[in-house]
A and B are shown apart, each in its own frame.
Chain A
Amino acid sequence: MNLSTGSYRTKILGLVMAASFIALIIFAFWVSPNDDQQGGAVRLLYIHVPLAISTYVCYIACGIASLVFLIKKKIWWDYIALSTAEIGTIFCGLTLLTGAIWGRPIWNTWWEWGDVRLVTTLILFLLFLGYLALRAMPSSNPNANVRRAAVVAIVATIDIPIINRSVEWWQNRTLHQRSTLVELKIEDWTFFTLVLGFLAFGLLIIWLTIHRFRVAWLAGEIDSLETELALKKRLEESNI
């Protein structure tokens, strides 16, 4: 059995991703200008915003993969769900961390309860921590645990818009900026660097998912082999 999690193609993908991150660092620190209002703190947004979008992409992918798993019963859909949930949760934690670091000089606080996206992201983080805790639980019936986790992931994904709307109504305000990206109100180099950030993090999601998927698949194969070996041993013992 090939125990490597990579291949020639993933190595190429990894190199392209590494190059895009180097380019992102160069553009973020040396090419893009300071913001009129935010000053140098704007540079943190080049990773904060792509991280936040990547989190939501991972969680939605996890929800979809879980739903397909429940319908098709193909285990590799569950591997995709697990991989994207783990990656999404790491990204989500980093989103909250970079958001807090950015918020301190800009909003003059580490945390703002009145901000919809901030509170929504925190709740999502907790939801998927629960999902990962469930996945990490030892179980005599792994198949049951996988189904349970799929239901939890679907519920968490369905909850995303409900949580967002309820938090928005709850405080009726947000400190976050409106969609300056869509309305193209930002400087040319700033916009380009942000797009570069999206590209780099998009490639990182794909690269990490492929490797994490392969780890999950190998773990599954090892479990099957161990079961097979145990059965074989039992049969040999009974023949004696």
Chain B
Amino acid sequence: MKQIWQVCLKDLKVELRSRIVIFQVLPFAVLTIILFAFAFEADRAALRDYAPGLFWVTVLLATFLFVLRSFSIEVEAGAIQSLRLSAVKPQYIFFGKALALFIGMFILEVILGVATFFLYDVSVESPSLLIVSAILTTAAIASAATLYGILSANLKARETILPLLMLPVLIPVFLGAIRAFDDALGAVAVNGWAWLSVLGVFAFIYAVFGSFAFGEILEEVE
């Protein structure tokens, strides 16, 4: 557990020092939310109805940049070699990196959520469902994104191959997150709590499988 936390802290420190997420990924995400408002011709009712979908599309796009950035640092500086040669088990590295990604993404979602709240004029009917579904969705995305991040880490065309590999896999999470948010925001009459099982199962499968597969791929990363 200590090693997981150490890997996580290392990643968070790198992010805090470079401030790429704060100064680049976050503004990009807010900009996307604003562009969606233009695409819907600032129709308040439409924006309110589709806010869950637009919010999660933005999160997915931001995640892609976040993961790309996180693993580029590891490969370009040769840090991944040091990490591989350290005594830390690949499973712990996986969970550490996934945890760092989870924390970074959750902070991003909170800021983006506040921006959506004001810009799209949404109201929250079930805050508990909103928070639980956001936690599970972020856990699911972070697990899958960590696996795909290492998978495409030292590929020459990682900017194009990463979304092609990662985004289709995340579709079930995307659907679940939208439906849960639909219920939490009162946009569509659905049982959002039922979707938590899909999000939970997905997060669990990717966390377990990812932790095993991570070692297989890490061995080959140069």
Query: Could you list which residues of chain A lie within 8 angstroms of chain B, going by C-beta atoms?
Result: 70, 123, 126-127, 129-131, 133-134, 137-141, 143-144, 147-148, 151-152, 154-156, 158-159, 162-163, 165-167, 169-170
Contact = CB atoms under 8 A, between A and B. Distances in A.
Interface in B172-187: 172, 175-176, 179
A57 B182 CA distance: 36
A166 B175 contact: yes
A170 B175 contact: yes
Given A141-B222, A154-B209, A159-B172, A134 B195 contact: no
Given A152-B151, A165-B198, A127 B168 contact: yes
Contacts of B17: none
A169 B196 CA distance: 12
Contact of B216 (A70, A126, A140, A165): A70
Nearest to B167: A126
A148 B147 CA distance: 10
B213 interface: yes
Nearest to B165: A130
Contacts of A147: 216-217, 219-220
B171 interface: yes
Contact of A134 (B161, B202, B209, B222): B161
B151 A151 contact: yes
Interface string B200-214: 011001000100010
Interface residues of B, number: 30
A166 B217 contact: no
B221 to A, nearest CB: 7
B169 interface: yes
B118 to A, nearest CB: 28
Contacts of A129: 164
A163 B164 contact: no
B179 A159 contact: no
In the complex, which of the residues B156, B202, B220, B222 has the most CB atoms of chain A within 10 Å of its own CB atom?
B220
A152 B221 contact: no
Contacts of B209: 154-155, 158
Contacts of B213: 151, 154-155
B1 interface: no
B217 A137 contact: no
